[in-house]
Structure 1
């Protein structure tokens, strides 16, 4: 019977270790195996508690042992992300202004004051709302409540961003109307994306989610699959249709660019494809999603070097998104590892064998 000394040591060692989730799991498994072997090698006449205490003492203090493995970049990024979240909770408005000011400055340099305000104001509203929601979620006794069609206030905060965006787009369209062919192509792909997103089989990876079970796409799986396939087929046919439909004015290149954006954000039509994507690392998913649009922009820059700014923006955004999602994924897995170690520690302390 385990006394729990090894489990307590692993919990302290995990807290001191600076590593990404994948490397963290491998190190913890290696350390636990070494400690178990040490316990077995110690004189069998000792009690289990004394044998585990001796094995732990031989291995060294948790902080010193963790330093021997050394940190990795993903581990440092996780710690920085945790520090940033604590700062967001303490100073939500300050963090929102500092975060969005960089985007506003870059957009101001790139496109002028109107575009900077059009991008910066909705982004400022969204970041501030998310920071306030994060502060609310850290308060004791917080419970997600149903607000309209949303099951959590963070989704409501994101939805509110579309109000100023819609107003700005409408005012811009009234002041400076775009060409008919551009509006037609953008509207065509917005309809395709809306259909695919609305008919996706689930909103989260949990198959037993009560919120997803009430959706039309879940209750009518065959019809929803037909809508998803139709949306993807029409999106893939967009460049060909742009060459023959008069309203598109033969702008197949613009339709092809819109198709790459659609492929980067739209859910895959099949459930198996979505499950395959969910099993991949976030950075790999972002790389696969962004490859078509990056390849298209590279060809465009080769043909016309003056378009290098758009390639730079798309590449920087893809790299940022891949890094941010990888850090989030690693933090989520790290939290799960710590919860598992906690459960094993309590079980060992209660007299049960660790799982």
Structure 2
């Protein structure tokens, strides 16, 4: 074989190998795209209009976790048919909550070098009213029952409440005036009836009372966590109960649902769901015995909804708030639910 023939064979071989490699890449990409469009058995999702007002019979708005082009979008289903086909809004959120036609959506802003995050205030049609840069990874979000106040918590160091080295920042916003309280660390702390000062104070998981003045939150310091009751007028927080994380105030204002660290459980899965009676201080363990790393939501005065890990990232469950019954699957591939028009 001449030198020229050898060169031609070598060139043809290289071209053939390149074609095979390209076909393999395209096939893998197509397979990945098909996987992203829908995982077998997953919920059906289609684009449409989603609003933060209840429809006939009520609706649930939530973050859709199903694979496909609508993953992470705020989506909606009828409250009485949570397994029905989902309507996706096109608005993507990492954390979400809403009340009285006002929503708070924590979003990632993808940059050329690194991502940043922002808090977006949404109106009842999911249009952006305002947005604010946040200095950390989104963790929790809540809106007051009137829609006037919004809050969010971000990790500014670390990324898990199971990690003892994390640091958080909890912010409160008046959605009508745009006035921000950048961090609850500015508030005066009263612990066990005395003023308390410490450099390691962290707050997270704010939940509002109906008067748009008082709230509850978690305060962490010196390796302990406390439920605190806050007053926006006096800029004071006062300890109420210990070993409380991610509180959620019941609609009637009498109880707090929370996750509690239970001794003897694994360090990376230490939490169980409890309800605290604010009048008596009595704790009730709920029927959910799995690890719940979420800020539970009150569906009504008798039922809680919360997320657990699932095949698509997270699934939603419900459980009675009085310790009876058993957990029930609400919907798969979903996170951050809000019930609209079901009261």
Query: What's the TM-score, normalizing by structure 1?
Result: 0.28
- Where relative contact order (Cα < 8 A, 6+ residues apart) is larger, the structure is 1
**Greater helix proportion:** 1
**Greater strand proportion:** 2
